[in-house]
Structure 1
């Protein structure tokens, strides 16, 4: 068992949002990091904007890389470790793809050989620049890059699951080349678990990279269906942690809740603290959790235009760096954290995705059965139908009872 769960936050600069890379101000960054460290958190996830760092396929701007290193060093001075997402990619409803992949140079970002080699060199370069920093956790290939591979994206780069796997392996290898021995991973939004035609699969998330990342957002139909205080809503992050274990080959593979937040208006501001408390409590009742990283650190400034309304208020801190109720709640949880040793979950819900992954989505048979079992206090995990009779696999995970969704009654 790990001795503790890591608690951190996705760093959203208070001045200029991620456009701060265009007018990088280390003093402003330091002030932001001071306010994050004051919450007692131990790491941040950082987002270079890909077009700003690699505006041409063969130009990775040295000054931008130096600024990234300066940010990481400033974080170290405040006791904060750093994970870096390379390919941004997609953030808060905006796409950031370099011009050399678009319009007149339109090429598939997952399969075009020259594009993929450009991406690999970019990730290798960022990783190498930070490889000797003790506070560098490692690279995430990019933020929810799977959203570029299928609908509802308006202009997706269509690929097969086999092509998605090949792309992930190539870029994970580039990260490891740049920074051997660090933790390198990839991150998909929940379509990987829920969407039938999404080419990035649960197997990719649960088997490739040094740990599994899950991103938990209850605006995906969960809160709409179950309400703010519904079991499925408050345990959505825990559900994704346990769902991921069905596909993992390593029964002790670490899982990182890399994004989770309290989105208004489904979670109103006055309820954000309670949602935070319930969500973290659910996650801490799962085994093999590496960490919880809240989205996000600071609110988006209202003078920035065209964000979806919910994006402006997701911070643990206000735009002027003052802690909000959810931030104070998370700080208290960190301060009061007990030794992390949750009991093994001995009841496994069978996951059969033969009809499609949507059985795992809100409203699907697996999702709803898991919520009912959780509400009844059963503390379920999940197991693939193909492994439900594998005594060796079940024993390795401590599973003693297996149930199917249709056995779970109202």
Structure 2
């Protein structure tokens, strides 16, 4: 089996994986799991050189009632984990689904007549923690379990731009995250357990889930990077900004890290045809992987996603039918070939050189303020990209107090920092 998930990135190769989207029936396949079909899908994924997958069991099927966790559903998850083991791949399991490809999968005991706040209602938080613990316990002795992640971008349910947000404060968001991470560790003490927030946590000024939470809680700092966040629309499909989007995002995440050796995980990145032409995709895959590998402490890259969503399924945004490395019939696409080749090339790539000068990101005393300066089009983003275009290999540095501006820069070996006013 592959290296321990806790192996320091400086002594182990970067991990490459794929977010697994079942070819037959998409995630609805959990309703009547076909292990033969799963085996076919995962054999194809393994053929790319991937060493891990990310798995998405649906919350309403695992826990259809607040006090009912289905043993059969937990067994189904374990069965898929075991198939991956037979193919030499490790698995991270997302515990709360949550949100996938524009659809929400929230159990009925949180909706309509039973509407409750999933983050702050004490009974709901207790029940959710029980599910996370039970899932972790069912998987704890699997030799290929990397760990659990707290759902897929569950923080989107709290965002101010959500159609029906579950409002909460920054301390409440942190308390919810800590409670669920503790449950994961109770169930599987040896796992690498992480928080899978989408980028509102990093770029939305009023969001209760913060960069500090993503960078300090859990066993690695996770980022999900998508160029349809404004990067592609603003700068263009073949722009420097698109090619270096993940590199910037990883350096932003590293800037918030409380420890230099904390692993960074690019857990989601894909090639959206809403921005890219099909002829752009191999370039995008290659550029994204090569530039991400320039970030110290990078633990792994997990591509979204394994298979296209079948066009027989209705009401998906069009791009969801095109994101796979394989098409809905299981045939390798240009993106899959490019990712396979990028994995092979990465094995020969040397360790990243030290980064250049640090561009300051003042965050102020209130964590709710000023994050938008780091978003695409913001002042910090613009200056980082300008320095990158000039070949400076810039990094970022979080400035919490004025005194930090004159402090030595431990990330860049003392390189001069440039302050940006927000």
Aligned to 2:416: 401
Aligned to 1:170: 179
Deviation string for 1:17-47 (max 9, x for gaps)?
Answer: 0000001000000000011011111000000
CA distance in 2, matches of 1:297, 1:398: 39
CA distance in 1, matches of 2:285, 2:151: 25
Deviation at residue 390 of structure 1 after TM alignment: 6.2
Match of 1:288 among 290, 297, 307: 297
- Tell me whether 1:371 sits opposite 2:381 in the alignment: no
CA distance in 2, matches of 1:9, 1:186: 18
CA distance in 1, matches of 2:414, 2:119: 38
On the 8 A contact 2:285/2:342 being kept in 1, the answer is no
CA distance in 1, matches of 2:160, 2:375: 16
Match of 1:385 among 399, 409, 413: 399
CA distance in 1, matches of 2:349, 2:169: 43
CA distance in 2, matches of 1:300, 1:43: 21
- Tell me whether 1:69 sits opposite 2:78 in the alignment: yes
- Tell me whether 1:215 sits opposite 2:215 in the alignment: no
Runs (4+) of structure 1 exceeding 4 A deviation are none
CA distance in 2, matches of 1:77, 1:397: 42
CA distance in 2, matches of 1:390, 1:200: 29
On the 8 A contact 1:346/1:399 being kept in 2, the answer is no
- Tell me whether 1:346 sits opposite 2:364 in the alignment: no
Deviation string for 1:238-276 (max 9, x for gaps)?
Answer: 111000122111112111000000111211222111100
Aligned to 2:113: 104
Deviation at residue 335 of structure 1 after TM alignment: 1.8
CA distance in 2, matches of 1:118, 1:233: 41
CA distance in 1, matches of 2:222, 2:287: 20
Deviation at residue 151 of structure 1 after TM alignment: 2.2
CA distance in 2, matches of 1:397, 1:173: 34
1:263-282 matches, cutoff 5 A: 263-282=272-291
SS state of the match for residue 118, structure 2? Answer: coil
Match of 2:168 among 153, 156, 159: 159
CA distance in 1, matches of 2:377, 2:11: 34
Q: TM-score, normalised by structure 2?
A: 0.94
- Tell me whether 1:27 sits opposite 2:36 in the alignment: yes
Match of 1:198 among 202, 207, 231: 207
Aligned to 1:183: 192
SS state of the match for residue 396, structure 2? Answer: strand
Question: Which runs of 5 or more residues in structure 2 are unaligned?
Answer: 1-9
Aligned to 1:234: 243
Deviation string for 1:164-205 (max 9, x for gaps)?
Answer: 000000000000000002100111111111101111000011
Q: Which moved more, 1:397-406 or 1:162-171?
A: 397-406
CA distance in 2, matches of 1:232, 1:365: 14
1:29-178 matches, cutoff 5 A: 29-178=38-187
Deviation string for 1:365-394 (max 9, x for gaps)?
Answer: 0111111111111111111123743646x2
Q: Residue 88 and residue 406 in structure 1: after superposition, are their counterparts in 2 closer, same or farther (change >3 A)?
A: same
SS state of the match for residue 245, structure 1? Answer: helix
On the 8 A contact 1:5/1:340 being kept in 2, the answer is no
- Tell me whether 1:321 sits opposite 2:330 in the alignment: yes
Aligned to 1:3: 12
Q: Residue 230 and residue 2 in structure 1: after superposition, are their counterparts in 2 closer, same or farther (change >3 A)?
A: farther
CA distance in 1, matches of 2:146, 2:406: 35
Aligned to 1:361: 375
SS state of the match for residue 150, structure 2? Answer: strand
SS state of the match for residue 84, structure 1? Answer: strand
Q: TM-score, normalised by structure 1?
A: 0.96
CA distance in 1, matches of 2:393, 2:145: 34
Deviation string for 1:339-387 (max 9, x for gaps)?
Answer: 5510121311100234611101111001111111111111111111237
